[in-house]
Structures are given as structure tokens and as C-alpha cells.
Structure 1
């Protein structure tokens, strides 16, 4: 698949050390090459939360090599979907993007037992996501088709 045919999803949380890393791990695992998966943080930590790494390893997804990255306006602008998890107003807004806000507990400073329910909720939300994801070109094509149908002679 070409990159223009695949939707791009940017997952954002404050530290890019837990929630967004787990969401990116799940989305990449579940969607494979059908989706371009990116993630970042508004105030990235020094490392990914070890409890998040351990919790994901329990379900067979390795995020141990992931590293926190800073959120940039360019990353947001290059994405079809932006899913924020607590970054609030720190995430820039651009027209033509679909924004979702997931209210999730922050796993920072928590052990694996406390991170598991957060991981499971993230998985539930990610599993529901692919059915609604469509690249910008497809949305434009659907809109154009509807507009042409509405104005076609009868």
C-alpha cells in the first residue's frame, strides 16, 4: 500500500512514555501495514515507563525499544487522525484532521498491576478504531460522490 492510500494516526500523551506508547503498540500490532502509526508527547519523558513495557510484554507486544519523542506541529499536520490522551491545549489543531480525546488514567509512577487496566482500556479503544479510519482521499471521494448524486439530473 502506498502511504497516500493509508490513513496516518498520531497518538499523543504528555510524556509519551505510557498511554501513547501502548496505543501505538496495539495499533501497529492490530492494523499492520494498513495504518501509518506515529506517536509523540507534549513534554516527553526520558524513557518509556517500565511498567507499560512490562504490561505490553504480557500481551505479546514489545515496546521496549520505543523512545519518547516530542510532539511537533509537522507531525500533527501530516496525520489524518490525532488521538490525544491528556495533552489538552498543547496539541496544535489543523483543519482537515480528525481529533479524538481519550480520557485515560496516566500510568506514570504506577506499577504493572495498576497499568494493566489502563492497557486493557487502550486495547479496547484501539480495537474499535480501525473500522472508522479512512484516509483523507477516501473521505473527499465519498463527499464528492454524495455531492454529485445530490445534483445529478433525475
Structure 2
């Protein structure tokens, strides 16, 4: 049986975009890869708007299933995906590295949050297809 690759979604505070990506990766692609999220610094909680909208849209309770993590708190990834926050990650050995260039929706309208969530969903779907091959 082929080992599932580990994908790390990395953002500065591990409180919004990276947490959404971890949740959607688990929800949409757990049959292909394992999802983790981490930050280079931490906030003390996951963004409440992200939590609320993920519950409303996908029925995913990120407060129950996830927590804020530093990069050193997750397993060594096969792929590192940065969210677009100009994160200078410590050297992480990986075979895939990319930046998704997503604007941080923190403090913005629900519509802006939903746009970012939809972009993350689309990118998760594309990543799943690439990693299946």
C-alpha cells in the first residue's frame, strides 16, 4: 500500500487560511494525502469568522478538530504550501513547495472570507488530482 504524502499548509499565525486549508484537505482529500497546518508564530485561537463560516458551509467544527501549531509541532511534510503571507519558513525538507498567494480575509466581510475559502477548496481539489498521479 502506497504511503499518503503529508501536506503542510503554512501561514504566519496558523489561525485562518492555513487552518481552513487543513480542514478542507481533511474533508476533501484525506483519501489521497494527510493534511496539517502550522505557523511561524501563533495566535491564541483560530479566527472566529473562519470557524463560523466553515461550520456553516461544510459543517466542519475547526475548534473541535484542530488547534494552533508551530512548524516544529507537525511531522516532516512531503509538500509545503504557504498561503501567501510571505512566510520565511525554516528549512523544511519536502518534494513539493508552492505559494498559493491568498490574501488574508481577517477583519473583512463574509463575502471576502467565502471567496478565500472557495479558492482554497479549488486549490485543494487541484492538489489532490496532482498527488493522485
User: What's the counterpart of residue 69 of structure 1?
Assistant: 69
| Unpaired stretches in structure 1, ≥5 consecutive residues | 139-154
CA RMSD between the two structures: 2.2
Greater helix share, structure number: 1
User: What's the counterpart of residue 112 of structure 1?
Assistant: 110
Conserved 8 A contact 1:52-1:112: no
Q: Deviations over 1:84-139 (max 9, x none)?
A: 113535212345421010100112223433311111111111111111126xxx9x
| Unpaired stretches in structure 2, ≥5 consecutive residues | none
State the shift of 1:28 in Å.
Answer: 0.3
State the shift of 1:40 in Å.
Answer: 0.3
1: CA distance between counterparts of 2:109 and 2:80?
A: 28
Is 1:10 aligned to residue 4 of structure 2? Answer: no
Compared CA separation, residues 31 and 81, structure 1 to 2 (3 A)? same
Task: Please list, as runs of the form range in 1=range in 2, the aligned pairs for 1:114-133 lying within 5 A after superposition.
Answer: 114-133=112-131
State the shift of 1:48 in Å.
Answer: 0.3
Runs of at least 4 residues off by over 4 Å: none
Return the TM-score normalized by structure 2: 0.85
1: CA distance between counterparts of 2:97 and 2:116?
A: 21
- Paired residues, number: 131
Partner of 1:9: helix, strand, or coil? strand
2: CA distance between counterparts of 1:95 and 1:48?
A: 27
Task: Please list, as runs of the form range in 1=range in 2, the aligned pairs for 1:37-48 lying within 5 A after superposition.
Answer: 37-48=35-46
**106-115 or 8-17: which moved more?**
106-115
User: What's the counterpart of residue 29 of structure 1?
Assistant: 27
Conserved 8 A contact 1:42-1:87: no
Return the TM-score normalized by structure 1: 0.74
Conserved 8 A contact 1:12-1:87: no
2: CA distance between counterparts of 1:14 and 1:94?
A: 15
State the shift of 1:83 in Å.
Answer: 0.3
